Amino acid sequence: VAEALLVIEVAIAGEETRISFEHGLLGGHAIDETGSPLPPETLDLLSHSDAILAGAVGGPKWDHLPFERNPGPGGLLRLRRQFDLFANLRPARALVPGVGLFPDFDLLIVRESTGGAYFSLQKGSEGIGPDRRAFDLIEYTAAQVERVLAVACNLALGRGGRLTSVDKANVLESSRLWRDVAEEVCRRYDGVELEHMYVDNCALQLVLAPEQFDVIVTENLFGDILSDQAAGLVGSLGLLPSATVGFGDFGLFEPVHGSAPDIAGKGVVNPVATILSGAMLLRHALGLGSAADRIETAVERVLAQGHGTAEVVGSGESLGTRQIGELICAEVGALAEAGDGA
């Protein structure tokens, strides 16, 4: 996060917009300091903000806590729900030449993020022994499907116009509803070509030929799984940003990866996912598209020059978090000076 903030500062230096940064606690640190993964002070701060840049939260130390007091469900998921951020955008494309499984693909997963089994009202665990029973109902309303499909259609129009709606309509009623609503919504968008795909087939197609996809839209749990899989295609989870948005400009911008507790605090984690989340924030929440372009171009250049953290460079020379941040800052600065937004 520290590197992302520095990069953002350099990227907007020539813009008229000034950003003031406020810091709030979320997740594990918030639990340690206040007992809550999403303290009221943080919520208050966020409700007066234009955008949220969130660092990875959680770790083994807090895994045993019940859902409400756990960094993931009690922090992140509550945040998505609290601000009705129902569309989780997870772009994945070939970023580093020679890294990752495929040389050329560029897809965007739009994951529904406030419904499904994650937020089911019928969730529970009861009984003991072999009779112990636990359940998380997958449930969607037409309105919930409609709004995320509308977001996906609009994004598809700004890209290649191809939308793959992923479901399990051969088995699940909630997927039948999903499919019906997807058809209905897409009819309203001239220029969006809709195809349906079962989630098991989508998992297969992603590892066989990811270049066939443009925009994928799917329900919460399917999207959670498929987006990690897409990250594998890129080569490192440390490279993938995300934006979770609702109807307006406000949003939650965070890396797709977790807190990597095994390497945390050593100065070696990959800052690229959070830096690219910063670019998404500038573009989506603040309307600073050229500053966002500068960051994305700078990241591509630095990676193309062969620089990267350990998991990206393999047996090559790896750089630390700070060094990668510095290289990207320098590249962003050079692009700004050249007056080059793209």
Residues belonging to the active site:
118, 168, 200, 224, 228
Q: Distance between CA 14 and CA 96 in Å, rounded? A: 28
Q: Is 3 in the site for Mn ion (CB under 5 A)?
A: no
User: What, of ligand IPM, Mn ion, none, does residue 76 touch, CB below 5 to 8 Å by kind?
Assistant: ligand IPM
Q: What are phi and psi of 70, to 5 degrees?
A: -100, 140
CB of 237 to ligand IPM, least distance (A): 10
CB of 109 to Mn ion, least distance (A): 11
CB of 56 to ligand IPM, least distance (A): 9
Q: Does 224 bind Mn ion (CB under 5 A)?
A: yes
Contacts of 59 (CB under 8 A, 6+ apart): 28, 71, 259, 261, 264
Pick between residue 77 and residue 324 the one whose CB is nearest to ligand IPM: 77
Structure tokens at 320: 């630390």
| 43-78 as b/e: b if 16+ CB within 10 A | beebeeeebbbbebbbbeebeebeeebbbbbbbbbb
Question: Which CB, 243 or 298, lies closer to ligand IPM?
Answer: 243
CB of 312 to Mn ion, least distance (A): 20
Q: Residue 241 touches which of ligand IPM, Mn ion, none (CB < 5 to 8 A by kind)?
A: none
User: In terms of CB distance, is 82 or 318 closer to ligand IPM?
Assistant: 82
Asked whether 85 and 66 are in contact (CB, 8 A), the reply is no
Specify the residue, 26 or 286, whose C-beta has the smaller distance to ligand IPM: 26
Helix (H, G, I), strand (E, B) or coil at 197: strand
Gap between the Cα atoms of 9 and 291, Å rounded: 10
Q: What secondary structure, in 3-state letters, does 116-162 show?
A: HHHHCCCEEEECCHHHCEEEECCCCCHHHHHHHHHHHHHHHHCCCCE
Contacted entry of Mn ion, ligand IPM, none for residue 329, CB cut-off 5 to 8 Å set by kind:
none
> Segment near Mn ion (CB under 5 A), from 86-94, 179-187, 216-224, 286-294?
216-224
Please say which residue, 224 or 254, places its beta carbon nearer to Mn ion.
Answer: 224
| Residue 245: strand, helix, or coil | strand
Q: Given the rule CB under 6 A, which residues bind ligand IPM?
A: 72-73, 76-77, 224
Residues at the contact surface with Mn ion, assessed by CB under 5 A: 224
